[in-house]
Every structure is written in structure tokens, then in C-alpha cells.
Structure 1
Amino acid sequence: MTENSAHAAPQEETRRLEEEGEIAADYLEELLDIADIGGDIDIDVEHGRAAVEIVADQSDERALRRLVGAEGEVLDALQELTRLAVQAKTGERSRLMLDIAGFRAGRRAELAEVARAAIAEAKASGNEVALEPMNPFERKVVHDVVAEAGLTSDSEGVEPNRHVVVRPA
């Protein structure tokens, strides 16, 4: 493999993910127009997937919160619809992540704290620690924090009761 072809694959993947983000942004802009909600759309590529966020100034923030739902359930549904819209255009399954008004970013910080507390408990007690049920996004955040700390974790159970178990080293 030449040096140029080694660099072509990551660049091609980044281009594909940016295209996913553009398709998602177009879909979401139409949705915001229909709902008469103001907001800007930021597109990025993070952790090998397209990341799209709808952001707004304070006057539109309250309306965006309705698109999140009490515990993110509306956001999860919109993410799935957006993934389907991308798949309809590209013919390929999307792993796009959608955030609205910083909900997932805030939730990620909360979950990191939950994970750190479980890590401390597992280290101190030598026992595994089972956490409350979480959706796939939440479990992934916890697994990542646990792995960074050098411990192991697994998801157990069946939706909607699937949860993370943190195991001592």
C-alpha cells in the first residue's frame, strides 16, 4: 500500500461522514421550518461518526427543549428519523449522533460522574457495581469512562432494562 492510498481511506471516510452531516442538516432545517422553530445547525465528525447539533439563542432555546423531551426521548426519536433520512439518500446505515441545545453534552458530563462513582465503589469494595437502566448512548458514555479508568464493564439485561455493570480490575 502506498502512502497516498493509506491517507485516502481516512479522507474518504471523513468526506462520507461530512456528507451524512450535510444530508442530516438539510432534513433538520426542513423540520425546524415546518415547526417554526429557530435554530442553527452545527456539523462535525466525532469518534468516527457524523455529529449534528441544533443550537439556538436563548429566545429559541425553550422551543428547542420541546424537541428534546423530558428525558431525551423526543431527541432519540428525531435522531432515528434523521438517520433514516440519511440512509434513504445514501443507501447506507448511518450512526449519526444528534444533539439539541446541548442536551447530550450535558448528559454526557452527568454520566461521566455516575461512572466515576461506580468505578470508585468497584475499586473500594472489589465487587461489581450494577447501574440503573440506560439507553445505548448513555451506556456507551459509561463504557468509555470505565475503559479509560482501566476497568471493564458490560451491558446486561434486555431493553428497556439494559444496564451497565462495572467490574473491578
Structure 2
Amino acid sequence: MKKTVASGKTIEDAVRNGLTELQVTADRVNVSVLEQPSRGLFGLIGVRAARVELTLLPEPEPVPVELPESPQETIDPIAETERFVTEVAGTMGLTITIDRHNSRDGLVLSLSGSGDLGMLIGRRGQTLDALQYLVNIVANRYADSHLRIVLDAEDFRERRRKTLEDLSDRLAGQVIRSRKEVVLEPMSPHERKIIHSQLQNHAKIKTFSKGDEPNRRVVITLK
């Protein structure tokens, strides 16, 4: 420990001199009096100064301060998803409204609004499918359990479903008449599922898929 001996006319003076030398405050030292001051004979002969020893105390341990825990912010995955879709549409110059409803395929976010929403749909729904993929990533980033989001615009999904079901029936008739299988153009897993479902109970026709994504195709053939 650091120590120093200081003197002065009085104990107080000696202590003050020692604190100045150590450059600390009084609460940081332990003071021991070595000699009391003496005025001597007639206040002239044998005058003796006060002497003290100051011992520097160790630095006090910092007291940990416990900060109150802030409650973890809960983010609504659906609200965050809708915000994302609205921002994407905004970058395309579109103003949209979003309606929610449940279906057998999952939670449907149905888009409507002013402007050309065909920009959000794209050719055969390819843009909508790509946006739906991103939407599911956003939703499941904040969800506690897996969410399945179906993104629709101007009832495109239902119109596309009806188109594919009608196409399935027409092609099934063609295969029966020609007795030759038909290979369809590449489709998304969702669209292939529509065709398989439409023909799964057909008496004379069966379907299967072949190829690798994104070029996987449905084949319609005789049983």
C-alpha cells in the first residue's frame, strides 16, 4: 500500500499536506498520528510540528448496478408480412389494401387496390409466386410456429385454379382419344398439385411429375 508521512503546525495541517501529496480525498486514506505538535518553552524553544502517516486505501470495488430488464418486443408476423408487401407494392407505384382469410392451403393475404396489379401477378403468376416465397420467409422469421401464407391478387389464385382444372379435363379427354400421353409445360408445385388432384380419381387417366425444379412437369397418360 502507498504511504506518506506529512507534517504541519497542527494535525489538520499535516493531514492536509499529506492529502495534497497523494492527490486524494480524506475518505481514501487511513491516518495515523506519529507526533503531536508542541509549542515548546515560551512558544519559542523546542517547537515541534505534528507528524502523521497517511496510508492509501485500496480502490473500492465497483458496485454492480442491475438494470431493469426491458420487456422483449413482440412482433406480429402477419402485420410484419403485410408491411413488407405494402412496401414492395409501393416501390412499383401501387397502392394496395390487404384482406385476410383462412383456406385449406393456409392463411390467404388477398391484395386489391388501384393501379395495374397485374405487375404483382406476372406471367402465369410467376411474380406473385416469387413474392409469396419472400412473404413466407418474412412471416416465419417472427413466428413461433410455422406459418403457411398464400398471397393472392385480384382473385388470381382461384381463376388460375379453375383454368388448370378445365385444362386437366380437356387434356384427359385428348389422351383417351389419341391414346398418347401429354406432357405439360413446367409448373410450380402448387399448380402441379391442382392437376394431380383434379385427375386423381379418373377412371382411365393417371398423372405423375417428371424432371427437376424449376422445370418439373406433369405427365397425363392412360392407366
TM-score (norm 1): 0.71
* CA apart distance, 1:99: 1.1
- 1:138 is aligned to 191
Q: Is the 8 A contact 1:84 1:94 kept in 2?
A: no
- 1:106 and 2:163 correspond: no
Which has the larger displacement, 28-37 or 109-118? 28-37
- 1:54 is aligned to 111
Cα 1:36/1:61, change in 2 over 3 Å: closer
Q: Is the 8 A contact 1:61 1:101 kept in 2?
A: no
2:118 aligns with one of 65, 76, 90: 65
2:82 aligns with one of 21, 25, 28: 25
Aligned partners of 1:123, 1:22: CA distance in 2, in Å? 49
Cα 1:42/1:147, change in 2 over 3 Å: farther
Per-residue CA shift, 1:127-156, capped at 9, x if unaligned?
A: 433222212222111112112545432111
Which has the larger displacement, 79-88 or 131-140? 131-140
- 1:89 and 2:146 correspond: no
Cα 1:118/1:21, change in 2 over 3 Å: farther
- The aligned amino acid for 2:207 is S
State, as a whole percentage, how many aligned pairs show the same letter.
Answer: 28
1:141 match: secondary structure: helix
1:132 match: secondary structure: coil
- The aligned amino acid for 2:160 is R
Q: Is the 8 A contact 2:120 2:153 kept in 1?
A: yes
Aligned partners of 1:65, 1:114: CA distance in 2, in Å? 22
2:95 match: secondary structure: coil
Unpaired runs of at least 5, structure 2: 1-75
- 1:166 is aligned to 220
Per-residue CA shift, 1:106-139, capped at 9, x if unaligned?
A: 2222211211112212333454332222122221
Which has the larger displacement, 43-52 or 25-34? 25-34
How many matched pairs? 147
- 2:211 is aligned to 157
1:145 match: secondary structure: helix
Q: Which has the higher contact order (CA 8 A, sep 6+)?
A: 1
Unpaired runs of at least 5, structure 1: 1-18
- 1:38 is aligned to 95
Cα 1:89/1:68, change in 2 over 3 Å: same
Q: CA RMSD in A?
A: 2.6
- 1:119 is aligned to 172
- The aligned amino acid for 1:70 is R
Give the greater-gyration-radius structure (CA).
2
Q: Is the 8 A contact 1:41 1:53 kept in 2?
A: yes
Aligned partners of 2:103, 2:91: CA distance in 1, in Å? 28
1:120 match: secondary structure: helix
* CA apart distance, 1:34: 5.3
- The aligned amino acid for 1:154 is F
Aligned partners of 2:201, 2:192: CA distance in 1, in Å? 14
More strand by share: 2
Aligned partners of 2:215, 2:142: CA distance in 1, in Å? 33
